[in-house]
Amino acid sequence: MLFARRSYFLPTFILVFLTYVLFSSLPPGADIAYFDHHAGFGSPPPGPPPRPGDRIHYRKQAEQHPVTEYIPLPSTAPSPIPRIQHDFPAESMFARWRRVKKQNAVKNAFKHAWKGYKKHAWLRDELSPLSAEYRETFGGWAATLVDSLDTLVIMGLMDEFEDALEAIEYIDFSTTSATQINVFETNIRYLGGFLGAYDLTDGKYPILLKKAIEVADMIYGAFDTRNRMPQSRWEWTRSALGMGIQPSRNTILAELGSLNMEFTRMTQLTNDPKYFDAIQRITDELETAQTRTSIPGLWPLMVDAHDMEFNDPRYTVGGMADSTYEYLPKEHLMLGARTNQYRRMYDAAMSSIKKHLLFRAMTDDGKDILFPGNIRAKGATIEPQAEHLKCFLGGTVGIGAKVFDRPEELSVARKLTDGCIWAYDIMPTGIMPEILYVSPCKKQDDCEWDDDKWHKDILRRFSKYSQGEEAAQSIIKDNRLPPGVIDIPDSKYMLRPEAIESVFIMYRITGDKELQDAAWRMFRSIDKITHTRYAHAAIRDVRDTHSDQLDYMESFWLAETLKYFYLIFSEPDVVSLDEYVLNTEAHPFKRPLESS
């Protein structure tokens, strides 16, 4: 272990040791609230950040559990992959004018937010868009800057991109004031951000791959455990001091199962097998477990990564699980269809998702829409919870339907996407809340509107089933529930991308202009109420057209949300889904050529 100042070794070692003893009864990360892979994990202690010389710096120690033989990238001949994108016809001059006008509106929103970040939070993780201050939420390594690199390229903001390239030279990934590093978030935002920009610029800027290697080699240290499963909330100072680490018995599914795209791309670009080996071991464990969970085909919300047990009774495709399922068809694409492993896993997952989680929502206009709910055990009643984070599923099912030749599921993908569009359209602000509960249909193929059922579902949800119609009306009024909605326990909008993500993907798959129209409604509604003097802010209540704004702007606003809005109004060959795979943070990785 190297220290910038040798005199700090003893007090630093004592501090780390006492901290470890104090919290050793908790699994790594257990004291940190988790919302999903797109949620902040708290702010650093008040006061100025420590001087770089006062910090421990991570340097690789001799591995305690070295790999004796790496699992190589599959070298078998690739299988043909069906085309994903619609064959778009040439557009008229008038249609192009309208489309570009909308695209420029999105670009202006990005430029406004980027200007505020650059002026008030440069090289910090996030801008606070109301106070013009900053937050350090993801290691203090300029998360918004790195996350936005490929968006700058896509939007043609090359002067700003060049400025960002100069700035990333100053990011030191060997140290942080955080006591734990969230490996998953670091992977998708930082590693993904560098790789996406590198691929999108055809490798023209070597600094991007250099920084990607820095990040990947750093978080690779989290895999040095007895079973080579990563410690997802990595106690990096233990590794830096040559002390052992172990994976947590309470590991979030998404944090375990969503590292494969980025690590696969690292091996493809560097020819270093260690990255692919690391994630392939996880995939093999997940595939083995998939048939023996209490709901075969699905994995529970939490995993005991120490003993690789899957006993948690909760199942969902929402927050804390989402990207594990999202990456099944995407990793198949990243591997050029050289293995059927991800096809098998996707087949099993989709069969179980359709059987156990999907339900049709009852709407007063008779729309045929689907949502994925939650379930606690096989045979239990679906919890009819719609969640903004689950809105990714329409796009994932759409991609799966194309690449795995499952055309019958395109209608499922569209109904899931339409469900999230509906949840936007019914709110006074035109924006879907974080979480809402909806009234499920008794039958998917026969679902006429029923006022009485809606009211009974509301009373049941609020544990007032015996109180009757007057109580139902009071709940509707007090909670401002649109028809079909039975509860809105979290009414915020956090600038999230999942709904526009699926709208974009389904537009590229189908060419349906109605999806572009829906995207424009969504963008105008979001831009109107989130705009601040300095950037854009999350809002407290989507039921209130004059909602309070919140002093948060996560990096995914620039990395994902505005990128997807821009791309749906781009020409279809810009980041074509037949040339790129977008990771869960919307970073585009080049798909391998069939001959490579």
**Is 498 considered catalytic here?**
yes
Residues whose CB is less than 8 angstroms from the CB of residue 177 and which lie 6 or more positions away in sequence, other chains included: 44, 49, 50, 55, 136, 140
Q: Is the dihedral of CA 269, 273, 274, 279 positive or negative?
A: positive
**Is 185 considered catalytic here?**
yes
CA dist 330 → 260, 326, 335 (Å): 9, 7, 9
Say if residues 196 and 159 touch (Cβ distance below 8 Å): no
CA dist 174 → 55, 170, 503, 511 (Å): 10, 12, 39, 45
Say if residues 359 and 318 touch (Cβ distance below 8 Å): no
Alpha helices in 366-512 (DSSP H): 393-403, 410-425, 451-461, 469-479, 498-510
How many C-alpha atoms does 144 have within 13 Å on its Cβ side?
Answer: 32
Query: 113: helix, coil or strand?
Result: helix
Question: 584 among the known binding-site residues?
Answer: yes
Active-site choice (126, 150, 224, 322)? 322
Smallest CA-to-CA distance from 401 within 84, 86, 87, 88 is with 84
Query: 580: helix, coil or strand?
Result: strand
Say if residues 529 and 523 touch (Cβ distance below 8 Å): no
Active-site choice (498, 541, 560, 585)? 498
Query: 242: helix, coil or strand?
Result: coil
Q: Return d(Cα 561, Cα 563) in angstroms, integer.
A: 5
Query: 322: helix, coil or strand?
Result: helix
Alpha helices in 462-550 (DSSP H): 469-479, 498-510, 513-530
One-letter amino acid for residue 431 of the chain = I
Residues whose CB is less than 8 angstroms from the CB of residue 155 and which lie 6 or more positions away in sequence, other chains included: 107, 110, 566
Q: Return d(Cα 188, Cα 147) in angstroms, integer.
A: 9
Q: Return d(Cα 409, Cα 424) in angstroms, integer.
A: 23
Q: Which residues of 485-496 are buried (b: 16+ CB within 10 A; e: fewer)?
A: bbbbebbbbbbb
CA torsion, ordered 189, 191, 196, 202, to nearest 10 deg: 160
Let me know the angle formed at the C-alpha of 144 by 142 and 149, rounded to the nearest 5 degrees. Answer: 100
Instruction: Show binding-site residues.
Output: 584
Instruction: Show binding-site residues for Ca(2+).
Output: 584
**Known catalytic residues?**
185, 322, 434, 498
